[in-house]
Structure 1
Amino acid sequence: MAMRPKVHRIEAVRAITVIARRRDKVDDKHRDLLPDAESSDPRDVLDYLRKFSGNDIPLWVLQADVCDALTLNNWLWWEDRRRELHFLTAGRARGLSLAQLGSQVGVGKQGVVDRIDRLEALLRYDRPDEKITRAERRAARASQLHRGEELDWLSRHSDLVRSLTVAVIDHAGQYQLADDEREWIDELAVDLRDEALTPATMVLLGLAATELRTATAVMALASTRPDRVHSTLNRIDALRSRFAALGRAEASHRAFALDSPPPLRASGPIYAAT
């Protein structure tokens, strides 16, 4: 079954407006009962169309009303999904048990968890598949753990990172790099001045090293007699390789787990029959 098209509030407002314009032309008896403000509840507009669409209304108006009514109905469907997700998550945040929530929507404890995950996947990705939301949460947790590992590594190697950063800046001055040759080196200097060592600092260190390595004055050095700058660049390469290796084994393990499909199980519809 095809997914309902998502409808923006602007489209719903437009539908209300065009319905009102059409009814202005053909409905002298009941037009004043039609809500036509941008803030009107689409349900009230739909109720009007259901009640006042008799034989006295031209067929072309009735046909156009149906198309716009379905637009409003689709907007309400998605709004109901957003509203339900809001109150399910609010219930959990306010300490209600899964059993209490489940009794209100006709599902068990696991059904509530599945329902929340499916609604989140539906509203974010247009796919009511709880596995999408759960995979996203696992990835977010893994990313947070990895970032913590990176920050811990930077803390333990901060002196070395700073000394290599200072060396890059000193070499840039020694070889008189022009302003357009040291954009990333200057950015790295700002990080050093602000003492803001983050994983992004290691990216900047790599970009700054590339600027230094490809600077005209450094490229002109005799290759048979390595200079101190070459030693600095080699040490930066080695340090960045060690940093890049953080969590690599863990990432490989996660990739294998994600590639292995979970056991199949029955998955019911999002909404229980009432």
Structure 2
Amino acid sequence: MRVGIAGIGGRVGRLLVEEVRAAGMELSGGTTRKVQEGGAAYPLFTDLAELAALSDVVIDFTHADTVCDNARILAQAGVAWVLGTTGLSPAQMGAVDEAARRIGVVHAANFSPGVTLVQRLAQMMGQALPAESYDAEIVEMHHRQKVDAPSGTALAIGRAVALGRGVALEDVRESGRDGHTGPRQTGAIGFAALRGGQIVGEHEVLFTSADEQITLTHRAFDRRIFATGAVRAAGWLSGRAPGLYGMEDVLGLPPL
């Protein structure tokens, strides 16, 4: 399998290079904003279409602003897509859906197997624990350079809780409480975002009633876990029919 990496010079991109090679796959190259002559041990491109022409799958951890163009290019090239970009608008998500009609796409807010299982458990708990009795709160902490809040992973966990409860997250989400906010709304899913140091990622999901509290916690110690999971997803896509898949599919979890 020939694997290309969009944004190969980023922090995750550099780890992806190592993980692709460790998995015995062929690294077809990567995209970067500016190609410098010499020094690279793999082909570099500024145009994703050039990389796609040499690849069977492209792993993409770039930016939401590139998603629409990347979706069009990879769909036209017939190249599978592993997408780890979060914070997508409805229009950008629509471009992903459209591409998935022509190619296999694995899209995940987080490629860690542990986070995937936390999302599954959060959905099960949302389904089993009545919203009228159990308040759901999600706390996340990341490094000080992170620009979006709550994190894409926290929102994915929140959507899992909302799915279990049969509601849309947008209808029950509460974020960034400050000042005299009044009492907590029944059925709300709350978010708190902390930033500091160089923390890779910590997520905690709490279900609290008047009588008990259940907590799910996940801590990432190394960004390599995201690269390892993305490469696993790339291998899983080999020979798959067009469609939009998630890490639950890659891990072989049965549908709820």
TM-score (norm 1): 0.22
Higher relative contact order (CA 8 A, sep 6+): 2
TM-score (norm 2): 0.23
Instruction: Please identify which structure carries the higher helix content.
Output: 1
